[in-house]
Structure 1
Amino acid sequence: MSPSAPAFTNGTLPFEVPSLDKPCETWYRIYGSLSSTDNKHTPLLALHGGPGFPSDYMSILGPALAPRPVIIYDQLGNGRSTHLPETMGDTSFWTPELLLSELQNLVTGIGLDTRPGGYDVLGHSWGGMLAAMHAVTKPKGLRKLVLVSAPASMPLFLQEQAKLRANLPVDVQEVLTKHEKEDTTDSKAYHEAVQVFNERHMCLITPMPEEFQRSEDWIEKDPTVYHTMNGPSEFHVIGTIKDWSIVCQIPNISVPTLLLNGRHDEATDATMQPFFEGIDKVKWVTFENSSHTAMFEAPERFNTTVAGFLAE
């Protein structure tokens, strides 16, 4: 931790899952202080993507948005929270509703919903989808919402992925199709072909930032959540989120909302347009030289944009 970075504290919170006979915990980290006496700024809860891509890469927001308190956490089955490898492939267990319940448990457990001035939520990718699910419930204390590279509908997202995939080199497309048809998506050739897509639409920085790589490494250690809820790649989604959509519920989001994405993002403008059309108080900023990870590709403008919106 650099001398200018805010101090942080780590903690865990019990999360009861009725269908399990083992205790579960959600790991979280708080940058700064949640005490309204010590810090008058509204805290920001940051939700990581995936599903199954832990919060390591979101850690850059703590120092970037100081002195605002920032909370990151690892969703169940991810990072330092409880892992459940025995549930690999259990599509009745790994649902968006499970992780929404965990989010609501965390908000209550660390007292965000009772803090004077409330709290803000920023969600990236899948985390943005989860944040939108949270917002439509009109939770007590939620003040503002930031959706970063978050599609409003997975069917719409997959339509857009097909367009992006069609622009890949023909030989790369052939490798992807071959291994998906043969169910050999765990092969080295398939992973190398996926990387070609990722370098165009996931992160334009080569090599990928250390924090982002640490999150990616967790999928290698335990792919349970990503493979069960998503699938083997961003564009071959065969898990429990494949039919997910919040389009019909978007008008229920009543808090001021900021939409962010990159010009080269896998979350194209079309995937986020329903949020722009359906939310009453909404702003939209696109980073011209970024893809899915503008917080790394255009950090100064990203941080200034988020901080400015939250301070309004």
Structure 2
Amino acid sequence: MTVAPSAKGTVPFGEYETWYRVTGDLRAAGPALVVVHGGPGSTHDYLQNLSDLAEGARSVVHYDQIGNGGSTHLPDRRADFWTVDLFAAELDNLLERLGIADNYVLFGQSWGGMLITRHAASRPAGLRGLVIANSPASYPLWLQEAKLLRDQLPPGVNETLLRHEAAGTTDTDEYYAAMRPFYERHVCRLSPWPRDYLASFYEVYNDPTVYYAMNGPSEFHVNGTLRDWSVIDHCPDINVPTLLISGRYDEATPATVQPFMDHIAGARWEIFEESSHLPHLEEPERFKEVMRTFLDEVDRS
């Protein structure tokens, strides 16, 4: 296996810049695997180990979506600036600027999976395959399931969360402490949390502009602009091989993933039995095996 050294830089996106990193050689014959992170408002850091999938003729592209990480930060922009259309246009721009719009596979994790579903529904000619990882098909479904998961938290935890949410004091230490049991059960079950995950976690903490505007104060209290957004109607328009990934203890519960399975023709679903929201970190070897099998199938097709 020969992998070219990583290259990184920025590409212009209108008056802004999108940071990216390439592992492998974009000039190779195989489709590039483009990694679209979650959030919205997170960074690529927690998905860094997907660079291990760069091998042979396959390269891997990570990028930070505008508003965080190495891309342009805009902390003074109001909520109406941060739209799905903005991030969809940024992804299109990245593909064109890197010269891979004619041959690529998309991996989208959490919010990123919803974003790539929207992208794929337009049937771009160069898209070869789709991996929708730990993503809900709609935020109303996500909130419905989050309530069920919250009701199962240790006694008193959800009551504390609800009290702060009602009072608008979700920026307090007590609220953050009460969030932890949910995150430990349904976001990352590893202890201690991996460094790559913490890197993205602290990036959001240091600049929560996008996360607060579009999502809200926590994974399970979505009161931002995405609270009513769904990609279910986009699913029937997808016409490329599609892999669904989720964890047995995932905050993206089976009920939130099922519409992808129901409406994307030929979709395949892999559930990771020892994982929650981050199977690539919680079960990395099985994750790589599943991904390599799927990517090899895409290459052959």
**By the TM > 0.5 criterion, same fold?**
yes
Q: CA deviation at 1:5?
A: 7.5
In 1, the alpha carbon distance for the partners of 2:3 and 2:209 equals: 33
Are 1:52 and 2:44 an aligned pair?
A: no
Identify which of 16, 27, 51 aligns with 1:24. 16
In 1, the alpha carbon distance for the partners of 2:225 and 2:99 equals: 30
Are 1:194 and 2:183 an aligned pair?
A: no
Of all paired residues, the percent bearing the same amino acid is 47
Report the equivalent of 1:230: 215
In 1, the alpha carbon distance for the partners of 2:4 and 2:136 equals: 32
Report the equivalent of 2:268: 283
Are 1:139 and 2:127 an aligned pair?
A: no
Deviation track 1:154-177 (CA, whole Å, cap 9, x = no partner) reads: 001110000000000121111101
**Aligned-pair RMSD on alpha carbons?**
1.2
In 1, the alpha carbon distance for the partners of 2:165 and 2:76 equals: 24
Report the equivalent of 2:80: 92
Report the equivalent of 2:94: 106
Deviation track 1:134-160 (CA, whole Å, cap 9, x = no partner) reads: 101111200000000011100011100
**Is the contact between residue 258 and residue 283 of structure 1 (CA under 8 Å) also seen in structure 2?**
yes
C-alpha spacing 1:257/1:188, structure 2 compared with 1 (3 Å): same
Deviation track 1:9-67 (CA, whole Å, cap 9, x = no partner) reads: 00211111xxxxxx2000000001101xxx33321000000001100111111124434
Unaligned runs of 5+ in 1: 17-22
Are 1:239 and 2:231 an aligned pair?
A: no
**Is the contact between residue 4 and residue 25 of structure 2 (CA under 8 Å) also seen in structure 1?**
no
Q: Report the residue type matching 1:40 in the other structure.
A: A
Question: What is the 5 A alignment of 1:39-78?
Answer: 39-67=28-56, 68-78=58-68
Report the equivalent of 1:298: 283
**Is the contact between residue 6 and residue 63 of structure 1 (CA under 8 Å) also seen in structure 2?**
no
In 1, the alpha carbon distance for the partners of 2:244 and 2:111 equals: 14
**Is the contact between residue 236 and residue 263 of structure 2 (CA under 8 Å) also seen in structure 1?**
yes
Query: TM-score if structure 2 supplies the norm length?
Result: 0.96
Q: Report the residue type matching 1:162 in the other structure.
A: K
Q: Report the residue type matching 2:6 in the other structure.
A: F
Unaligned runs of 5+ in 2: none
**Is the contact between residue 43 and residue 70 of structure 1 (CA under 8 Å) also seen in structure 2?**
yes
Are 1:175 and 2:164 an aligned pair?
A: no
In 2, the alpha carbon distance for the partners of 1:66 and 1:156 equals: 37
Are 1:160 and 2:150 an aligned pair?
A: no
Query: TM-score if structure 1 supplies the norm length?
Result: 0.92
In 2, the alpha carbon distance for the partners of 1:138 and 1:162 equals: 35
Q: CA deviation at 1:76?
A: 0.4
